[in-house]
Structure 1
Amino acid sequence: MTSRSHPERDCVESVQAVLDLLDGHDGIDASTESLDGAFTLLADQRRRLLLAVMRTYGEELTLPDAAEEVAVRETGRKVTNIPAERVREVYLSLYHDHLPRLVDAGLLEYDQERDLVAPDGV
C-alpha cells in the first residue's frame, strides 16, 4: 500500500498546529482582528514565498532578484528555465500588490529609489 497525501488531512493538521502554537504562547496577540490580519497577509502564496525568500537571505535584495527567487520557488525550475515574461509578471505583482501590503504591515522594508527589499529592521 502506498502512502498518498490527503489535502484535507494536511489542512486539518496545519490548522491544529497553528492553534496549538497560539495556545502555547501567551505573548502572541491572539485578538480576532490581529489574527484575521495575519491570516489575510499569509493567505496568498506569493506573499508567503516572498517572506520565505527574505527570511532565507536575511538581508536586502533587489526586487528583481527577489522576484526571480519567488518565480523559482513557484515553478520549481531553475531561473534559466523560466520565461522572462513570467519573472516580469512576478515582479509586477510583487511591486504593485504584495510588497506594499507587507511593507504596510511592517514585515518588510522597501527602498524604491534603489529597488531594494529588506526584512524589517535590516
Structure 2
Amino acid sequence: MTSRSHSELDAVEFVQTVLDWLDDRDASAETLDDAFALLANQRRRLLLEVMRTYDEELTLPDAAEEVAIRETGHNVTNISPEHVTEVYLSLYHDHLPRLVDAGLLEYDQERDLVAPDAV
C-alpha cells in the first residue's frame, strides 16, 4: 500500500465530499462538466473569490490587482506592475469573458467595471 501525502489526502477528502454533495443534486453530466471547467483555472477561481469578498462592482484593474495579491501572497507594493498587467490582460481576454458568458459575473466594458451577477 502506498502512503499518500497530506495534500493528496486533502484532495481525496474534497473529491469525496463533492461526490457526496452531487449525489443530492439533479445535474446533468454536461452541467457538471461546464461547472468544473469554469472552476478548473486558479485565476478564474480567484476572480470569483475577489468578487464574492467585495460583493460590489470593482474596476477590472482593481480586481486584477486583488487577484495578483491572492495569487502571489504578496502585498501589491511587492508585485511587479508587469505581473499585475499580465493578470489584467488574462482576465480581460480569457477568464472574464468565460465567467460573463456563464452568467457568474457582469462586465461593463465602457466603464471597465466587473460586478457579481445579481442572480
Q: Do they superpose with TM above 0.5? A: yes
- For the pair 1:91 / 2:91, whether they are aligned, the reply is no
1: CA distance between counterparts of 2:96 and 2:108? 11
Letter in 2 for 1:121: A
How far apart, in 1, do the equivalents of 2:6 and 2:66 lie?
28
Matches within 5 A, 1:1-122: 6-24=6-24, 26=25, 29-121=26-118
The CA RMSD over aligned residues, in Å, is 1.5
Q: Show structure 1 runs of 5+ residues with no match.
A: none
Q: TM-score, normalised by structure 1?
A: 0.90
Q: Give the count of matched residue pairs.
A: 116
Q: Percent identity?
A: 80
- For the residues of structure 1 that align with 2:80 and 2:30, how far apart are their CA atoms? 40
Per-residue CA deviations over 1:62-94 (Å, capped at 9, x if unaligned) read 000000000000000001110000000000000
Amino acid at match of 1:90: V
Structure 2, unaligned runs of 5 or more = none
1:115 is matched by which residue type in structure 2?
D
TM-score normalised by structure 2 residue count: 0.92
